[in-house]
Copies of this chain bind each other. A is one copy, B any other.
Amino acid sequence: MTNSDRPTGASAPSVKDVAAAAGVSLGTVSNVLNRPERVSPRTRERVERAMAGLGFVRNESARQLRAGRSRVLAYVMLDGSNPFFSDVARGIEDVAERRELSVFLCNSDQVAEREDAYLSLLEQQRVLGVLITPVDPENPALAGLTRRGTHVVVVDRTRSGDTHCSVAVDDVLGGRLAVEHLLDLGHRRIAFVGGPEQIGQVRDRRSGARAALESAGLPADSLVDVATEGLTVEAGRGAGARIAGMSGRRRPTGVFCANDLVALGLLQQCVALGVRVPEELAIVGYDDIDFAAAAAVPLTSVRQPRRELGRKAAELLLDETTSPDHVHQQVVFQPELVARASTRGMAGRTTPQRPEPVP
């Protein structure tokens, strides 16, 4: 056990203290830390012993101040409790780890003010770069960061213009896939559940849904809009109650939810209220989170390459910070529909049923 106990009040030892203890100059201590090969083994040993004895811990603030930049990436998540975003974060961590960088996770929780507060903080921290799934991709604060020299990559959104890189999945296509699937199954009264309107994902997925209706020769306005306050399980439950409460002739036969959380909440509430899924109501979610497959009725969902999304975003960011001739890119991944029992029929049921609803 080294003698590194520090009674309250004494401040942390600095390179200066280490230098004094080892009887060398502070430049030498720094060399031990940063270019050990330039220091003779004898001296190095002595310095290392002094560091251990004093319990020396490098002061990252001072390093950063000197270096001008930190070794930290930040990801501002739209919703920390949505597994979709933690999966994206994992992808970012994969890349960061390989480059010996750390990742600072922030949760805007879909609140614009929180997002702005975090962006401001991160800019002050002089982080290496910011990855963000913004509440609103047109948030002027993003342009501000870029203008002042902090690199920003937008995740899960595309932005008009080429002010920064972005990585996204084609949400319009995703919405189209979801609704085409419902149309293929014969549904004609289809609802879209999600909100609020500011969230781009919501807009795009809905617009894809409308496009699918139009391609099928139906008026886009026939899409029943069920607005929610947010994209949470709780919001989904609320929407479920509203839909279950509709009279049989008005109630949609198929719903497309803006994400899986909403779909799961809606599913749970509908089942609890006696609406059979998918016989009376077919449900399509979005994101294909792990829980989607484990739901009351395994959930049909639109799958996105979540982890890959994070990886690509981090790579773009690092390229931007590293190579001088970087060109902004807008990478768009393709989503994929995963059909399961919530639209198809009851998997595992002893009496299989045809899911065809009344057209």
Give A residues with C-beta under 8 Å from B. 4-6, 8, 11-12, 55, 57-62, 64-65, 68, 70, 80-81, 83, 86-87, 89-90, 93, 102-107, 109, 117-118, 121, 123-126, 144, 147-149, 233-234, 264-265, 267-268, 271-272, 274, 290-291, 293-298, 347-348
Contacts and interface: CB of A to CB of B under 8 A. Distances in A.
Contact of A233 (B59, B64, B148, B290): B290
Contacts of A62: 61, 65
B81 A81 contact: no
A4 B294 contact: no
Nearest to A263: B294
Nearest to A272: B348
A323 B92 CA distance: 38
Contacts of A296: 294-298
Given A83-B83, A90-B107, 4 more contacts: A6-B149, A11-B68, A102-B121, A296-B297
Contacts of A5: 147
B265 A294 contact: yes
Nearest to A74: B104
A298 B296 CA distance: 7
A68 B61 CA distance: 9
Contacts of A61: 60-62, 64-65, 70, 125-126
Contact of A295 (B118, B124, B294): B294
Contact of A107 (B89, B117, B267, B298): B89
Given A11-B68, A90-B81, A294 B123 contact: no
A147 B6 contact: yes
A81 to B, nearest CB: 4
B6 A264 contact: no
A149 B86 contact: no
